[in-house]
Structure 1
């Protein structure tokens, strides 16, 4: 039936009604209204839909509910108006139109059904190929697949939607009555394809990772194993897919589904024999639970005689290269059993066992050496020499045993004296000048993470100020064209944060009230503020000052822009900048000058000349710089700790609650610096301080005080002590502290001690880097760090196993003497107590290794008195504590 034209506009009544329904957000009416339209009319509607879609994007802030309803109607109408499958899939996969979890898919499916099987199959395939789209369009894709008869799309996104539908449609959260998941999987015709794909996914859907204790009747591995038993899923395909996924490795969470499925399917010995190479591969790189499972299976095959010597040797080399002691011990036991049964396999297996000679654990070295000694007679001279060469990797503690075993085949020890290996002294890199053109500057400002990188941030900020002073109009025009995002161009965006250079950009564009800016510019931290709030306040004060003055004659350039990567400023460069201000007849901005004074390097070879040149400028700012370079009382800080509280019924009396950081009284800072800086002169309270909000902006702290390392460390300590047991990236400022200038005192020592015991391995690595950098610069007070570690370990604030891991990592770089100097200072108090702390054996093992290596030629540095060592070493039993204490005592005696 044809449609009549609306008077005066050339559009049919049907077209107008459809557009009106879409604009009104009445998606339910769309399928019926589409039925009466021809191809030409649908093209007409499509033009209006595209225009409306663009319009709706601007409704989000003020009309969110109306926008959502209109988008739903657009989603359905667009599906019915696109004649081509590619265009239709693009419309249905639009990020602004895709519904949440298939909401409205039934309506879209109704308008797609009349397009033909090939069209529906192509749309389904295109949508399924886009992960985020497929997950939320599952019902639509499934409907298109079922109606077109095309193959089931085995994609990650489609499986995510499939798994979600099973979860949303089940009763797992209400009761555990009835095997609902198994029944639904059994009835679903797509299960054979999708279950196999789910097993192979790099990231398993959430529902598939639940344990049997969380949801016994929604446990996917149990259901899949049952379907394998019923023959609905091919057993060989399930085994191959699960093993292949485990072989690829990944997060333990994502491997739980294939591992549990494999366990529940219970492969036979014959099935495992066909897949031995995969199992051997799993022992090499996969997470411990996976490698342990493969090791158990292969051990059973070895006992049955089904594992060839070549495969066992390959497996042994893979496992013994791993760091998990449990796996290494189990493998040595397995090899010992095989060699007891098949002595002829020694020539192939013992070289693999010798890999353990270089293991960091001396106990494992001893086990491997005993195993080699037990079967050494079964190998020829060439293998014997190979093993003797590997024995050179053994700890000195096993040297005597190795000599007795290999005799003249063992290489003699060289007489070279021990040489400490430390990293080269890091040199601060010069900071590139700011962008020379507006186009270059805009590229810098648009770069991702510019506000998070201190060097890039300062360079962009200086360029922004300089170009705004030269031609504010041109820069404003370029910024308006480049920054299309509007979120930061509203005043409320800066209520709680300056958001880096965005605050200055907003000032450039004139978007903020000058009185509002001045209020933030003049803020001073409260006396009870935490240190990282105060440090962030310095950065914000500079930003709000630049926001207020940008593009005016009052701010031609930034005095505080660093000249080197640590945040420091060459004093002669700062003098030249002040001369430029003098010649222009401009007084420096207070916050900019204050930050420049904190950054100027006061101890370099040019400091004296810069002091004279600054004083000769004849300006107040020059006089301040000269006095600052002459001052013998720079900002300073001290750290002390209150006694531990005895009443444990109260809140945990942790390190951070007992820490007292005091900033020295500095009148020049309190009287001459702007409000945001005065706390550095001693205005903050000295009571224990703890903050209860998210710590951010830590990457900017070190460049704020590059000449006052001890003050920086003192400000950093409360945040480190609060988060070192749980938060990652808590030690980010440590390298900046190590590379900074100035005095090294207790604050730096405590920061290092706490960081060496951090809960996160990456944090401990940063602590090791900082330790070695300080040592290479000659700034490390190893005794002080050790003494801080002594009481932190004794009271449980630093766990011995974490300290041992960090110390072992540092020692492995060749810094055995440095590590021993630290541990040697920490051990006296830990050993003299009648009951050593649990886990101290690991620390003693590292200490013994250091002494054996750096003291072998009688040049052991800093040999301390360890009065409690004899008592521990004389203890009975074979615990690691006693064994390693004996080893350390013997090493010290030698």
Structure 2
């Protein structure tokens, strides 16, 4: 066979690596070198997606051709790292590649392997096939791999998680690995690599059922048998812990430290590192350091002054177990060395600054026991520190030290939020073009409203050629967003794009325009979005798409000078006086607002507080829109829908697990039902919502369009909350990330709080990710500054969701503590008095923390009250935290010491 591209293609199409090898080796070296240009052009012109769609992967045959014809390692690497071949490294016929290189007697295979290694991914340790390919080339060249992150990750991933047949245990594989001594030290050096160890160390299928062979255990075994030097591994382990990383990335090194079990001499050598870890490292690592230092202290080799210095930051750490252990340690030192008692208890007084009352109380009790034996200056210093105490401990400290109890600071009054006015309207076609581009990346409700208003206003003002010159290029550049296709038929971008085309250069026949016309007609005749011939979303965000479609359909039918639904406030609200002015203008100029534009405007009017003069002036309007406006105000606007809690219950499969379709045991939804049959055409579908029977996996219907959702009915926030409750629930029960954008937006709106808002806030407080929890706190503070009651409803939802572990009470308590410190003490107390009675009966581990918060709030507000079930919890025998915190709160609420 001749050495031609056609022959190579034919062999590659059959994945005939042996045939390609024979073809190349049958030619002379000069012929092979001359053929390289052909191979290079063919690979550069290939479409990688064609190879993936093929039933076989011809890339291996082309890789043989590269190695068999390339003049240098640089030329070969340039082709092998192109996407057409790089995506198929896992399928490479390594035997044929090395056979061709050996036959050619090339001396650059090691160099080629190094160049390939430089391109190894540093992100994905699960797939080590790229490393295997690069390593095979490196071995063929008789070289060693470069010590870089991609190589170390690939090597480690291949060791920990081997593919294919059963293999020996990890300890044996590491012992026999040729690169162990070269690459293992770097495992301790690259940040984040420990997370890959933790995530991939699942065992390899070669271990007995129920056991796993893990990396730390294997390294520890090799140290024990002398294959690895103990001093080197221990130093690298402690250095890795001291340099810090994310907790899951450090966990394997914590386990390795435990496996190595340092001796007292070794602990003493690395005492400075352990001291820093105790003060600064994440909780589990600090606990490890604490145990090491205690062993050193027990051996009499830790200086007391050093211990006292490190204790100061430890005593205010959030990990209570760690702090309590440090307190016990200090007490032991004081008993062991009476000459240092004053120094120890001065240090111990630092625990008064801990945020937890039980830690503060423990320190206070220990100091009280030794008070008589302390010097006067020590007592004075400790008494001064007692101002840091909280709750009932302030009064106890005042009695103990004979000081005057400082009056509890008045709770900071919250100021009701003033919702900002809308930005000024867009003034030119060029500005509109900029806003449309930004809208593609950030769909805020405010930006959508300004863009829609500007399309109508600027089109009416003209000239058309200026409008077209600014916007037509954007439609062409982002045609996937604005043209008619299967992905965007229900999107507001489709309506916006069609409206701009109709306003600039109306086509004779436009399928998208016809689709939008049908959707608008169905919405007008049936009050329906979605289903049948309507492509619009049935949820509230579909109202925006309907309004954009209405503009596209009507923009050339009448020269409408403006939209009447553009909000006057950034939360979507319209000032009734502003709408009166717009409709009065329409009546005077003889034009009628479009139907859905007017309905959206009415839905944005406040529920209450409409000035009498506005109502009177509206009654004098005679146009159809004016009369509808007047009737709307006279009737009190949109009636509140009925919102009811609705449990979505999971079902287990035959294996006893929850499935993709039913991912969690329980999630709360909210069922909406309209309060009346008549009303606006938009009304019924907006106010009708029936959650599904089962929870959905990671619902994200409103991801990125939270502001659009909130602005549809800004004075009935329960509607938006009910529709989005599935999204909010997944933040807590599935750990999804949403940055909690919706809750603060709804807090800026108004309306009664029903199960949608109440459960939504609790899900926000219990979210896995901190930004979502912070957003829930912000929303709570905003609502606490308002006049509408809400805290009791949130308390009932909290008790429901936390009682069975649907939401983690510990997370919620942290958020409520932040809300209390942020000034919402009254609202937090109202929530707690509703939530505590049912939660006390559960005896959950986190209930004492909630009781502790209640004690702090009760002292701040000087509350005297009765909480059902609290006396029974306080009467429990023993010294459990539940009993202790119940007694504390009961004493505060009854005014008894």
Question: How big is the shift at 1:889?
Answer: 2.7
- Note the C-alpha offset of 1:853: 2.5
Q: CA deviation at 1:143?
A: 3.5
Q: Distance in 2 between matches of 1:244 and 1:714?
A: 51
In the superposition, relative to structure 1, how do residues 358 and 732 fare at CA in structure 2: closer, same or farther (>3 Å)? Answer: same
- Cα deviation for residue 704 of structure 1 reads 1.8
Which residue is 1:189 aligned to? 178
Confirm or deny: 8 A CA contact 2:351 2:359 kept in the other structure: yes
Aligned residues: 845
Partner of 2:36: 42
Cα shift readout 1:700-730 (whole Å, capped 9, x = no counterpart): 3222221223444454557656875445458
- Structure 2: runs of 5+ lacking an equivalent: 502-506, 532-536, 653-657
Q: Structure 2 matches for 1:182-581, cutoff 5 A?
A: 182-201=171-190, 202-203=192-193, 204-205=195-196, 208-210=200-202, 216=211, 218-346=213-341, 349-374=344-369, 383-403=378-398, 405-407=400-402, 412-415=404-407, 418-433=409-424, 444-447=435-438, 450-459=441-450, 470=464, 473-474=468-469, 477-479=472-474, 482-483=477-478, 491-494=485-488, 498=491, 501=493, 504-505=496-497, 513-518=512-517, 520-521=519-520, 522=522, 524=528, 534-545=539-550, 559-571=564-576, 574=579
Paired position in structure 2 for 1:701: 709
* Cα gap change, 1:440 to 1:68, in 2 (>3 Å): farther
**Map of 2:598 onto structure 1:** 593
Match runs of 1:20-99 below 5 Å = 20=9, 28=17, 33=24, 36-37=30-31, 42-43=36-37, 45-47=39-41, 49-50=43-44, 52-53=45-46, 56=47, 64-66=52-54, 69=57, 89=77, 91-95=79-83, 97-99=85-87
Q: 2:674 aligns with which of 654, 663, 680?
A: 663
CA contact (8 A) 1:661 1:688 kept: no
2:882 partner SS: helix
Check if 1:853 corresponds to 2:865: no
Q: 1:152 aligns with which of 141, 145, 161?
A: 145
CA offset digits 1:639-682 (Å, max 9, x no partner): 4469999xx9xx9999867965433115222xxx25xx4324x6
How far apart are the structure 2 equivalents of 1:438 and 1:43? Answer: 52
Question: Per the alignment, do residues 624 and 712 of structure 1 end up closer, same or farther by CA in structure 2, a change over 3 Å counting?
Answer: same
Kindly indicate whether the alpha-carbon contact (under 8 Å) linking 1:46 and 1:81 is maintained by their aligned counterparts in 2.
Answer: no
Deviations 1:80-103 (A, max 9, x none): 777676675554444554235632
Specify the alignment match of 1:679 in structure 2.
685
Task: Return the alpha-carbon distance in structure 1 between the equivalents of residues 584 and 11 of structure 2.
Answer: 67
Which residue of the partner structure matches residue 103 of structure 1?
91
Paired with 2:812 and 2:247, the residues of 1 have a C-alpha distance of 26
Rounded Cα–Cα distance in structure 1 between residues aligned with 2:512 and 2:440: 27
**Distance in structure 1 (CA, Å) of the matches to 2:425 and 2:66:** 49
The alignment partner of 1:273 has SS state of helix
**Contact in 2 for aligned 1:208/1:257 (Cα 8 Å):** no
Question: Which residues of structure 1 form unaligned runs of 5+?
Answer: 4-12
1:120 paired residue number: 112
Deviations 1:263-311 (A, max 9, x none): 2233322222222232233334444332322222222222112323344
Equivalence for 2:655: none
Question: Per the alignment, do residues 420 and 778 of structure 1 end up closer, same or farther by CA in structure 2, a change over 3 Å counting?
Answer: farther
For residue 540 of structure 2, give the secondary structure of its aligned residue in structure 1.
Answer: helix
Which is worse superposed, 873-882 or 567-576?
Answer: 567-576
Cα 1:739–1:886 shift into 2, 3 Å: same
Q: Distance in 1 between matches of 2:469 and 2:356?
A: 65
Q: Secondary structure at the match of 1:567?
A: coil
Q: 2:638 aligns with which of 629, 634, 638?
A: 634
Query: For residues 160 and 783 of structure 2, what CA distance do their matches in structure 1 show?
Result: 55
Quick one: distance in 1 between partners of 2:200 and 2:392? Answer: 50
1:697 deviation in Å?
0.6
Q: Contact between 2:855 and 2:888, CA under 8 Å: does it hold in 1? A: yes
Q: In 2, are the aligned partners of 1:99 and 1:136 still within 8 Å (CA)?
A: no
Larger deviation: 225-234 or 38-47? 38-47
Paired position in structure 1 for 2:534: none
Measured after TM superposition, the shift of residue 74 of structure 1 is 5.9
